[in-house]
Structure 1
Amino acid sequence: MKKQHTILLFPLLTLFLFLEVSNVYAVGALFSRPRFSQQVYQKMWIKSINTDIDITEQIAVTHLDQVFFNELNTSVEAIFIFPLPENATITELVYWVNGQRFIAEIRERQQAVNAYNEKLRQWLDPALLEYLGDNLFRLSIVPINALSEVRTEITYIEPLKYDFGKVDYKFQLNTLGLSSKSLEKVTVQLNASSKYPYKSFKSPSHVSSTALKINKINDNNYTLFYGDENFYPDKDLFVEYETERKDVEYKILTYTPSVQDSIGDDSFYALWITSPDIIDDSKIIPQNIVFTADVSSSMEGKRLQQVKEAMNNFIDLLNPQDSFNIITFGTFVEKFKPDLIEASETNKQLAKSYVQKLYALGLTNIDDALTTSLSQSFNSQTHNSLIFLTDGEPTWGVLNQDSIVNHTKANNVMGVRIFSFGVGEKISKNLLNNVSFENRAYATFITNEDSIALVVNNLFKRISKPVLTDITVDLGGLDSWDFYPKNVTDLFWGSQILYLGKYKGSGTYKIGLNGKISGGEFNFSDNINFPDTIGGHKFVPRLWAREKINDILELIEVYGETPELVGQIINLSLMFQILTPYTAFYSDPTPTKVSDEKQLVNSFNLMQNYPNPFNPSTTIVYQLPAGKNTYSVVLKIYNALGELVRVLVNTEKPAGLYSVVWDGKDMKGFDVPSGIYFYSLEAGNTRVSKKMMLVR
């Protein structure tokens, strides 16, 4: 149950802008107008987009570097709107001023706003990134000088969706209509690695594009490069891959923080539990399932035809041991049969005939529809599901949404899982989210451009074969706590669970998955190593923190914005440096009196090389924190096979900010070929790596 946060600090025009961009769902766009004017905001030229993507197992870290250009002969104020993929979390904001790179810090929202306004009064160049809700972000930038560039970098992490064996990554590349003219340059470089060999790795969106190339480094590592110039990217970039798997599979990534991370000394893990792709029919659990569909007047036309198609798909996917019914509603509720019937071929054909005769008419009586659906003869010996689809808010019967949620929960005495589908824009997301959340399922929202039949059919395919129910995870004696999700109930065919938690100690533990299958007991276990040596995958703690924050936001939805709950979110946001509805990124470009070479910082930082891609040379910048007299620093270059190419630094250095240039040559002074390279910084107990691309 996610709370919808709307920030009221912004003028109506700003809200209009980000809603428009949300519909386009592309890379960030910048809108500007002359300072102190009341003119309408105009889109600014997106000069270039350079993107680095690193995918480890099913976690993507995306670094987006965009350059905009103010073509006006006057200074302007600008609003940068940035929509993120669902479940993505911003972890870093970088803002460039006069050729200098400034990394923003997380602050409490009001503190960041106050600092931003203070800088405006001094006519400096502050940047403030705030969360607007629905995974939209606004970056305010004032001023931008006449005929000058603006450069921003945003990094976000994203757990990728698994569906029937395949994993998808989407980069929102479409800039059609968001830039005042074509882009000078666009590059996307992606590196993907997995513990298990890849069965397939492709880009469905750019199959025949001469601008894109996929390279197989080895069975466990692929790279992708996309590049073009002087054009409008008119579609998003999709990547799809599949790895070889066992029947039930565990994958794990861990991270143990160093003192410099300042997030404590507990270790973190991300554990994926994946169901089999191929299911023996004898293992399929019988189910009672009801399809309840809105056929009010607003469903007339294309929507009703797609709902009919979805219902027919639903009927085709029923197994012989299932029981089902179809219920429709407008002002009143109608039933295909008085109660659940067996899914025989005769009954399925009768159901299809009933579906073909449906027509749209009436108001929207959601409460009565849910009450009638839950009165069917569900029982405790089967898996019980209700598919509920509507395109509107309640307009007849009980109208109070809290009352509808409470009625539904009270009437659901057999523990039916209610999967809600909301179609179009005129729906109550809160109502559908709450109905599903309170009844052990989830809601899905379908835009006007999406196919209702396709989206609903994917859910039918999954729940038509419930593999494991009443799941528990046994961590085999591992000292683990504060894990999410709090409750794991079912694992369906073609689905997956991501389990996040904290732990202490190290060793190999027998991790068990227990549940019910076909009425019997199921047990699966595998030995998994949990290390406690410093290092690992640094994004894992942030994924854990994001889930904990989401859990607290759900408590706020129930108990309100109490100081204790809001304080917990702010503390987690500040500690793990992730953006939340109660915090903001703030970048302060005030010139420092300390020279760059001697500038002291509070944490290690290995910055992205620039330029990137590069030819023939590139600059690498790194920071060593105050706290020690000197550090033993080693900076190395590796190729994509992990072979050492060059040692750039191997010496003792005091705290400060440093830069080094790599000229694209190996240890013998020969030019290295084009490709992906990695640069790795070792300083004390810290090791950090980043990747770069050489294009000759």
Structure 2
Amino acid sequence: MMMNHCGLLTERKEAVPLKSIEVQLEVKDHVATVVSTLNYENKEDKPIEAVFVFPLPGDAAVCHFSAQIGQKHIVAEVKDKQQAKEEYDHALSSGQQAFLLEGSEEISDIFSLKVGSLPPGESASIGLEYVTELAVQADDGLRFCLPAVLNPRYQPQGSESPSVQVTSVPASLVPYSLSFSVQVSSPHAISKVESSCSLEPLQYLNTDQTQATVKLAAGHKFDRDIELLIYYKDAHQPTAVVEAGQASAKPGSLMGDPVVMVSLYPEFPQSVMSSHTSCGEFVFLIDRSGSMGCRMNQKRPQETRISSARDTLLLLLKSLPMGCYFNIYSFGSTFEHIFPKSMEYNEMTMEEALRKVEKMKDDLGGTDILQPLQHIYSQPCIPSHPRQLFVFTDGEVGNTKEVIDLVKKNSGSHRCFSFGIGEGASSALINGIAKEGGGHAQFITGTDRMQPKVMQSLKFALQPSVEDISVSWDLPKGVSATILSPPITTLFQGQRSLIYAQLTGKSSETTEGSVTVKFSFEGHPSKNQLHFSLKPAEDSGLTVHRLAARTVICSLELEWKPNGQQNEEIKKKVVELSVQSGVSSFFTAFIAINKDSPESVQGPLRCRIIPTPLYRAYIDSQVRQCSGKIYCPPSGPLIVL
């Protein structure tokens, strides 16, 4: 992929249309709502079209998109993607102002926004809202990450995905500002909020400390992701939230009925936990592509992604139980392994592996992860030693869906644990392969919290697989539950599991229900039960419904296969639910057109690529792949055409 500096305005001393970005984060328990406002002004003498791309969490549900032009407020509609694109093109050709927001069909954590036909002197504000679940970290903190980094994605040979073309400038030259504020509320007291960036002091809003606000300190540079860790007291308590349906939606539909979100923390019998033996085959797959030579973050220039991946792997190697089996693969454009087949773990094989890992460099070219995965899956498993696959990568791949599909296909015999190395690692890839591989995902962005994350993943991998998982509901007569989440295939001791269910029907009887998760652990049957009120929570909006809709949409999207027989039926279901819920999908886009523009925009549009802050970028001549780290502002602007 070659760099394309089409319209790098700062080098020409011309004004950039993006003036400022405002981000408001609202966290309720373990769900986050993010509202971003991007303010534009065209100071040129010609009409412009601004095009940029921005990263979002891979499982985020984009649920609102609007534009404010003068006194005119336009709320976008969700439509079939092809129809939306045609309407956008038609609006521009007719001289109307138009706005198009769409996600990548192959890479679910990348979105692009087109701001069309901004006349000279015109200002516009773009509003974007999304909701997402917050992952629980090894130290029980809830992690929220506002991506400021979008790493260019490597396209393997034969891939049909379009390449990303990047315009970038030093962070000191970026001519727009960022403001970021957070409001946290929870049934549990808020212990603290930490961040990789400087924050103003936490302000509590009530005496029981269940509500608080915090802001990003002044002077933030566009040189890193904004990572927040939120800590609650008694965070491991199971909870259930019932949200009322949308009054205007059709009864019986997902948006019209109440939806319950259940958060469970399964507890296993201690007698079983203490008696199980530590055995298994551990296969480690480490990324050695050129991009792994980039720095982890601005704070520690000497720390690179490959050095962090090595440190993470060395810590794991030294912690394996004696008598297990292991092997180590590394990959780039090609792949290597240190042993012809998995070897028994003892002092001699461990020392040999440590020596070889310490010499690993970012010298294998591109990021083709499919080849080594296919080879690993083709190797026969060792009896009585369940195979655990650990993947370390910065996630710079363009064929994310293909990789996740392969992991899912082999999840019956391989659990997959993933480590996203460095800022900007694809959350869609890292979370996707862990979720579909029955494992757990971690993000390593520095040395601060590496050890507890590594040891948590190893602890989970050493747990025997939980079998025969089932979910049952005890509800009043006349009320039934339809589970919207995919079947639970993995449970780990103390790790949260989320279940979404649609509640249908009414009852004049009791207003309480319960959900029970039954499972078998090492042949020992066990169950966890949670009682909850069926009364809808107040002021919850439609957050739970949108997260539930995104869950169903993601499941359907995974069923879609290139040239698949049922593709049209799957696409129809996705488009229908996406339009009904107002939540983004592969096959839909947000379209907004200012049909009341006082006068048509005259003359050809100038395309302006909004420059993104640059930390380090270079061309890897062997793979023609931009392997550097590209910084862009949150919910804002790395550009693709």
Same fold (TM over 0.5): yes
After TM superposition, give the deviation of residue 545 of structure 1 in Å: 0.9
Asked whether the equivalents of residues 21 and 37 of structure 2 are also in contact (C-alpha less than 8 Å), the reply is yes
Measured against aligned partners, the alpha-carbon deviations of 1:268-309 in whole angstroms (never above 9, x if no partner) come to 111112256998961666341313446989799977765553
Counterpart in the other structure of 2:159: none
Asked if structure 2 preserves the Cα contact closer than 8 Å seen for 1:72 and 1:146, the reply is: yes
- CA distance in structure 2 between the aligned counterparts of 1:433 and 1:166, rounded to whole angstroms: 17
Secondary structure, counterpart of 1:351 in structure 2 = helix
Larger Rg: 1
The answer to whether the Cα contact below 8 Å between 2:257 and 2:502 also exists between their aligned partners in 1 is yes
Matches within 5 A, 1:261-276: 261-262=249-250, 264=253, 265-275=256-266
Partner of 1:416: 414
How far apart are the structure 2 equivalents of 1:391 and 1:62? 25
Instruction: Indicate if the aligned counterparts of 1:43 and 1:179 stay in contact, CA closer than 8 A.
Output: no
Q: CA deviation at 1:202?
A: 1.6
Paired residue type of 1:256: A
- Matched-pair contact (CA < 8 Å) for 1:55–1:192: yes
Paired residues of 1:312 and 1:352 also in contact (CA < 8 A): no
How far is 1:80 from its partner?
3.9
Q: Do the aligned partners of 2:99 and 2:115 also contact (CA within 8 Å) in 1?
A: yes
Structure 1 partner of 2:215: 226
What residue number does 1:603 align with? none
Q: Which amino acid aligns with 2:247?
A: V
Distance 1:154 1:306, change over 3 A: closer
Q: Note if 1:587 corresponds to 2:592.
A: yes
Taking the aligned partners of 1:260 and 1:407, their CA distance within structure 2 comes to 40
User: Within the alignment, does 1:324 sit opposite 2:325 as a pair?
Assistant: yes
Q: Any conservation in 1 of the 2:184–2:211 contact (CA below 8 Å)?
A: yes
Q: Distance in 2 between matches of 1:187 and 1:250?
A: 34
Instruction: Tell me the alpha carbon deviations over residues 474-511 of structure 1, each in whole angstroms, 9 at most, x when there is no partner.
Output: 33334555424422122224532221121224632232
Q: What's 2:570 paired with? A: 565
- Aligned to 2:560, the other structure's residue is in SS state helix
Superimposed CA distance per residue, residues 198-239 of structure 1 (whole angstroms, 9 cap, x where no aligned partner): 3x22232345x5x55533534352322436778855544333
Alignment of 1:9-24 (within 5 A): none
Amino acid at match of 2:351: K
Summarize the alignment of residues 516-535 of structure 1 with structure 2, pairs less than 5 Å apart.
516-517=520-521, 519-531=523-535
Residue 388 of structure 2 corresponds to which residue in structure 1?
385
The 3-state SS of whatever aligns with 2:382 is coil
**1:268 corresponds to which letter in structure 2?**
V
Return the alpha-carbon distance in structure 2 between the equivalents of residues 297 and 136 of structure 1: 21
Give runs of aligned pairs for residues 38-437 of structure 1, distance below 5 A: 44=16, 46-133=18-105, 134=107, 135-164=109-138, 165-172=140-147, 177=170, 182-183=175-176, 186-198=178-190, 200-207=191-198, 209=199, 211=200, 213-226=202-215, 234-245=223-234, 249-262=237-250, 264=253, 265-275=256-266, 282=274, 286-293=278-285, 308-319=310-321, 323-328=324-329, 333-335=337-339, 339-340=343-344, 347-348=346-347, 351-357=350-356, 366=372, 369-370=375-376, 374-379=379-384, 384-388=387-391, 415-419=413-417
CA distance in structure 2 between the aligned counterparts of 1:432 and 1:232, rounded to whole angstroms: 26
Does the 8 A contact of 1:203 with 1:239 survive in 2? yes
Structure 2 partner of 1:540: 544
* Separation in 2, partners of 1:434, 1:146: 44
Q: Is the 8 A contact 1:423 1:445 kept in 2?
A: yes
* 1:687 corresponding residue in structure 2: none
Pairwise CA distance, 1:147:
3.2
Match of 2:460 in 1: 463
Q: State how far apart, in whole Å, the 1-side matches of 2:192 and 2:137 are.
A: 15
Is 1:515–2:519 an aligned residue pair? yes
For residues 536-570 of structure 1, give each alpha carbon's deviation from its aligned partner in whole angstroms, at most 9, with x where no partner exists.
44111111111111111111127367221111111
User: Secondary structure at the residue paired with 1:498?
Assistant: strand
- CA offsets per residue over residues 125-146 of structure 1, 9 Å max, x none? 1212222343222222222222
- Give the Cα–Cα distance (whole angstroms) in 1 for the partners of residues 265 and 13 of structure 2: 47
CA contact (8 A) 1:420 1:443 kept: yes
Q: Contact 2:469/2:520 (CA < 8 Å) preserved in 1?
A: no
The residue identity in structure 2 corresponding to 1:72 is E
Count of residue pairs brought into register by the alignment: 540
Counterpart amino acid of residue 124 in structure 2: V
TM-score w.r.t. length of structure 1? 0.64
**Counterparts of 2:60 and 2:313, CA distance in 1:** 32
Residues 1:519 and 1:226: Cα distance change in structure 2 (over 3 Å): same
Q: Distance in 1 between matches of 2:174 and 2:373?
A: 50
> Judging changes above 3 Å, is the alpha-carbon distance between structure 1 residues 110 and 305 closer, same or farther for their aligned structure 2 residues?
closer
Instruction: Work out whether residues 283 and 518 of structure 1, in 8 Å CA contact, stay in contact via their aligned partners in 2.
Output: no
Distance 1:511 1:553, change over 3 A: same
**Matches of 2:309 and 2:343, distance apart in 1:** 21
Distance in 2 between the 1:32 and 1:298 partners? 26
The answer on whether the counterparts of 2:197 and 2:220 sit within 8 Å (CA) in structure 1 is no
Whole-Å Cα distance in 2 between the matches of residues 294 and 111 of structure 1?
A: 42
Query: Which secondary structure does the structure 2 equivalent of 1:547 belong to?
Result: helix
Matched residue type, 1:502: Q
CA gap of 1:315–1:57, structure 2 versus 1, over 3 A, is same
State the match for 1:550 in structure 2: 554
How big is the shift at 1:572? 0.6
Contact 1:484 1:500 in 2 (8 A): yes
Query: Larger relative contact order (C-alpha < 8 A, sep ≥ 6)?
Result: 2
Report deviation, 1:43. Answer: 7.5
Structure 1 residues 182 and 32 mapped into 2: Cα distance closer, same or farther (>3 Å)?
A: closer
Residue equivalent to 2:639: none
Partners of 1:300 and 1:575 lie apart in 2 by 42
Structure 1 residue ranges without an equivalent (≥5): 1-11, 21-30, 34-38, 342-346, 395-400, 594-696
Partner secondary structure for residue 238 of structure 2: strand
CA separation in 2, counterparts of 1:62 and 1:362?
38
State the alpha-carbon separation in 1 of the partners of residues 146 and 484 from structure 2: 27
Larger strand fraction of residues: 1
Aligned 8 A contact 2:15 2:43 in 1: no
CA distance, structure 1, for counterparts of residue 290 and residue 230 of structure 2: 39
Letter in 1 for 2:454: N
Contact 1:308 1:356 in 2 (8 A): no
State the partner residue of 1:489. Answer: 489
Distance 1:353 1:187 in 2: 50
CA distance in 1, matches of 2:306, 2:8: 42
Letter of the structure 2 residue corresponding to residue 291 of structure 1: V
**How far, CA to CA, are the matches of 2:217 and 2:287 in structure 1?**
47
How far 1:92 sits from its partner (Å)?
A: 0.8
Secondary structure at the counterpart of residue 473 of structure 2: coil
Partner amino acid for 1:470? E
CA contact (8 A) 2:202 2:214 kept: yes
Deviation per residue, 1:455-484 (Å, 9 max, x gap): 982663452453871262433334555424
CA distance in 1, matches of 2:404, 2:534: 45
TM-score by length of 2: 0.69
SS of 2:196 mapped into structure 1 = helix
Following the alignment from structure 1 to structure 2, what is the Cα–Cα distance between the partners of residues 431 and 158? 16
Percent of pairs identical after alignment?
A: 16
User: More deviation in 48-57 or 427-436?
Assistant: 427-436
Q: 2:156: which partner in 1? A: none
Offset at 1:532? 6.0
Is the contact made by 1:129 and 1:584 (CA closer than 8 Å) also made in structure 2? Answer: yes
In 2, Cα distance between the equivalents of 1:418 and 1:187? 38
